[in-house]
Amino acid sequence: METMAHKQKILSKTLKRLEQKEHLPKELISLLGQTAELQLSAQKDISIQLPDLDLAGITNQVTRGDSFLTPATLPLDRTHISTLFSQLIDSITSGRTGLPEAMVAAAKLIKTALKDNGLDLDKAVDESLNGPGPTMAKWAEQTPEAPAALNFLVRAALEPSLSAAVTALVEWLGQNGINTAIRQTGTCPVCGNLPYILELREKEGFRFAVCSLCRHEYRIRRMACPVCDNNDAKTLKFFTVPEEPGFRVETCDQCKTYTKTIDFRNLDRKPFPSLNDLESMTLDFLATEQGYSRATLSVWGI
């Protein structure tokens, strides 16, 4: 297991590479770097209470390729989420320079609403997990210069709690002899969501998916679309560009989607998927130009 110091070292190196990307605004890099640092620091003192889990039922679900939980039933530490949410807002509104002005202004409005009970954080969390609703729609209208501000903050506050929940759930699976092995479908075995990025690991090139919601990392088939499960080799392609070493785009002509893949096996790098996704944004532009669409947003909610 990676230590906190090792994770911070990977984050630092990834941010330095991001700073060299001309297509990424420096203000955005500063915001995401600051947020990622707070998330790493918050990966402690999280209390996850697993729900009553039906071993036989979950075994059948995993065997069928279904997820055994839904976004609504993921166990979360709501107190920790609330605390980190406030810390994120305080960090953004503290007067530190170099952050997007629109995000700072939006964070100030959200901070006031939170203090005056004009924002129900639990409802915002539920909507971030289950799909857009009235709370997110309201704040998109109130912060038109940064319509995704509330979703960004909520998703950022959720991440450490989700990570802790997935760790506890995977440990429970292992303790009870449940092995997800290689998924025959691209969806997450824990919560059922699609991956936002893929990764090739080890010399054999094992293919892993990273869930767009809970960030669970799970192994999937090498030759299949992670979105529609199409395995017709004639309709599955990939491309790379010299400017983005270590990344490739995998496309499916059946569902017309694309997914990016991290392949750092021949590079002296360690992945930090949430930021590698933005680091390789040039590939998103190229895939879109070729008529493919992305099935998920980034884990930042933007």
Model confidence pLDDT, tens digit, residues 209-224: 999 999 999 999 999 9
> At 24, is the pLDDT very low, low, confident or very high (cuts 50, 70, 90)?
confident
Query: Mean pLDDT across the chain, nearest whole number?
Result: 93
**Nearby residues of 31 by Cβ (< 8 Å), 6 or more positions away:** 92, 99, 100, 103
**Nearby residues of 244 by Cβ (< 8 Å), 6 or more positions away:** 280, 282, 283
Per-residue confidence (pLDDT) for residue 33, from 0 to 100: 93
Average pLDDT for 21-50: 92
Q: Per residue in 83-102, pLDDT tens?
A: 999 999 999 999 877 899 99
Average pLDDT for 136-162: 96
Per-residue confidence (pLDDT) for residue 3, from 0 to 100: 83
Per-residue confidence (pLDDT) for residue 1, from 0 to 100: 60
Percentage of the chain lying above the pLDDT 90 cut: 81
* Two tokens, residue 248: 């490739």
What is the pairing mode between strands 257-262 and 247-252?
antiparallel
3-state secondary structure of 268: coil
* Two tokens, residue 198: 């893929």
Query: Is residue 256 within 8 Å of residue 291, measured between CB atoms?
Result: yes
Per-residue confidence (pLDDT) for residue 151, from 0 to 100: 94
Cα distance between residue 30 and residue 58, in whole Å? 42
Ranking 55-64, 185-194, 220-229 by mean pLDDT, the lowest is 55-64
**Nearby residues of 152 by Cβ (< 8 Å), 6 or more positions away:** 103, 300, 301, 302
Average pLDDT for 23-36: 92
Average pLDDT for 217-239: 95
3-state secondary structure of 257: strand
Look at residue 207 and tell me whether its pLDDT is greater than 90: yes
Taking the domains of the chain in order of start, what are their residue ranges?
Answer: 23-175, 195-294
Which residue from 17, 13, 84, 10 is spatially nearest to 46, judged by alpha carbons?
Answer: 84
Per-residue confidence (pLDDT) for residue 65, from 0 to 100: 84
* Residues across the chain: 302
Instruction: Please state the pTM of the whole predicted model.
Output: 0.92
CA distances from 301 to 113, 117, 254 (A): 21, 24, 26
Per-residue confidence (pLDDT) for residue 15, from 0 to 100: 94
Cα distance between residue 114 and residue 152, in whole Å? 16
Look at residue 35 and tell me whether its pLDDT is greater than 80: yes
Per-residue confidence (pLDDT) for residue 106, from 0 to 100: 97
Average pLDDT for 152-156: 96
Percentage of the chain lying above the pLDDT 70 cut: 99
Say which residue the tokens 């506050």 belong to.
157
Ranking 64-68, 218-222, 259-263 by mean pLDDT, the lowest is 64-68
Strand (E) or helix (H) holding 294:
strand 293-294
In degrees to the nearest 10, what's the CA dihedral of 212, 101, 111, 35? 40
Highest mean pLDDT among 50-54, 60-64, 271-275: 271-275
